[in-house]
């Protein structure tokens, strides 16, 4: 599973408003609600699941990347959103650096293997410096999506 298969341009925020972890997570969940990927009545439950995971350990993994994720019985398929912050978001990252790229995803509760594979694929993809550079310089949501769709170009 790749980000290109999980995202559309409408699930990308080229410049996030959030300046800290919880508002960033909320901003991306609200986008998924707006895009009808999460039902409005399930918003709180999904936010709680993400917050519970985040309290275990920050999903700010370093290199300006955060991957907030959770499993929930409120989704039937993997849902994801991507946000970029040129100024950086205080995320409590492992390297204490501000986060510039946030990939949020929620997996159905009974799909643990998909959860692990999705997390590993996203982390590996974003670990590539050239990918991060192209994401940073992309102009609009469609340009960001093209980076996800063609990582080698």
The CATH number of the domain holding residue 43 is: 3.40.930.10
Confidence of residue 56 (pLDDT cuts 50, 70, 90): very high
**What's the structural domain count of the chain?**
1
Catalytic residues: 69
pLDDT digits 0-9 by tens, 8-50: 999 999 999 999 999 999 999 999 999 999 999 999 999 999 9
Mean pLDDT of 117-146: 93
**Whole-angstrom distance, CA of residue 118 vs CA of residue 6:** 10
> Which domain does 79 fall in, by range?
3-149
pLDDT digits 0-9 by tens, 80-119: 999 999 999 999 999 999 999 999 999 999 898 888 888 8
0.85 exceeded by pTM:
yes
- Residue among 138, 140, 144 at smallest CA distance from 3: 144
Q: How far is CA 16 from CA 72, 73, 97, in A?
A: 24, 27, 17
Q: Which helix or strand (DSSP H or E) is residue 152 part of?
A: none
């Amino acid at each position: 599973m790749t980000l290109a298969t999980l995202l559309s341009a409408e699930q990308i925020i080229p410049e996030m408003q959030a300046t800290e972890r919880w508002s960033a997570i909320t901003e991306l969940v609200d986008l998924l609600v707006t895009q009808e990927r999460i039902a409005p009545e399930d918003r709180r439950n999904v936010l709680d699941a993400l917050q519970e995971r985040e309290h275990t350990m920050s999903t700010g993994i370093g290199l300006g990347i955060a991957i907030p994720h959770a499993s929930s019985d409120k989704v039937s398929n993997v849902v994801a959103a991507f946000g970029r912050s040129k100024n950086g978001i205080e995320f409590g990252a492992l390297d204490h650096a501000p986060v510039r790229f946030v990939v949020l995803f929620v997996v159905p509760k009974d799909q643990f293997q998909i959860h692990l594979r999705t997390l590993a694929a996203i982390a590996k993809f974003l670990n590539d410096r050239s990918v991060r550079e192209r994401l940073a310089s992309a102009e609009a949501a469609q340009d960001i999506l093209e980076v996800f769709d063609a990582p080698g170009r």
